[in-house]
Amino acid sequence: MLRAAMSQEMGRALVSVREKVQHAAARRAQSLPAVQPRVVAVSKTKPADMVIDAYSHGQRYFGENYVQELVEKASDANILSSCPEIKWHFIGHLQKHHINKLVAVPNLHVLETIDSVKLADKVNASWQRKGSPEKLKVMVQVNTSSEESKHGLHPSDTVELIRHLREKCPGLEFVGLMTIGSFGHDLAQGPNPDFQVLLKQREEVCEKLGLPMDAVELSMGMSADFEHAIEVGSTNVRVGSTIFGERVYSKPVKGEASAN
């Protein structure tokens, strides 16, 4: 009974998020690419049955911050049987000794957090050893807020890393830019400056590498600010607590506890 009620509540939350996404997309400037934004449901700390419930309500894209948690969920027998079209996004900081584990994840769709040439090369080598007929989609994570607590490369290094990905990493497919950004921006002061940095990064990347604007996604915006992010150009928003409810940690979690 409780499970059914919780599933219905999640279903209502997903409907609400999708409606807000549609309305925010309609408010975008016409100069922005007319790409329907993707909602990535961030399921970190949530059990497999909640992933299955969200999937049953039409959600297909899910995000995880920690490799081990992603491995456990993506390999869960119930998820594999109940969610055949699930697509996993890895949105946390990737440590090099976890690369092979990540690459082996069933239904891995996008790695959003490439932030160095060394990491790109190691992921590429691991993916090629896997022998997949398809390339692994990757995004480049940019530290737009210059906070030491945030991962991502400096904006000035973005173009060269993407050039390296496109020319030296045949197993990877560059699909976009990602940022976490600073928290608590007051929109009364104007658009989030971190989002504006990522928009400018895309312009520079497209100009210098000859890419069409609609070929470079922007992954920015989380539960607290996804509507604003979409309004200014995000094509990929990472929404967790708004869909699944607040997280309860058994102990403090360090690192990317803020990626949704």
- Per-residue tens of pLDDT for the chain, all 260 residues: 677 888 899 999 999 999 999 999 999 999 888 889 999 999 999 999 999 999 999 999 999 999 999 999 999 999 999 999 999 999 999 999 999 999 999 999 999 999 999 999 999 999 999 999 999 999 999 999 888 878 999 999 999 999 999 999 999 999 999 999 777 777 778 789 999 999 999 999 999 999 999 999 999 999 999 999 999 999 999 999 999 988 766 544 444 444 56
What integer pLDDT is reported at residue 256 of this predicted model? Answer: 42
The conformation of residue 96, written as its DSSP 8-state character, comes to G
Which pLDDT score is estimated for 258? 47
Query: What does the pLDDT read at residue 249?
Result: 63
166-186: per-residue pLDDT in tens?
999 999 999 999 999 777 777
105, 71 Cβ separation under 8 angstroms: yes
User: Where does residue 210 fall: left (phi above 0), alpha (psi -120 to 50 degrees), or beta otherwise?
Assistant: left
131: left (phi over 0), alpha (psi -120 to 50) or beta: left
Q: For the chain, give the percent of residues with pLDDT over 70.
A: 95
pLDDT of residue 257: 41
- Show Cβ contacts of residue 46 under 8 Å, excluding neighbours closer than 6 positions: 244, 247
pLDDT in tens, 117-141: 999 999 999 999 999 999 999 999 9
Q: Would you state the pLDDT for residue 147?
A: 83
What does the pLDDT read at residue 255? 43
Is the C-alpha dihedral spanning 213, 145, 139, 13 positive or negative?
negative
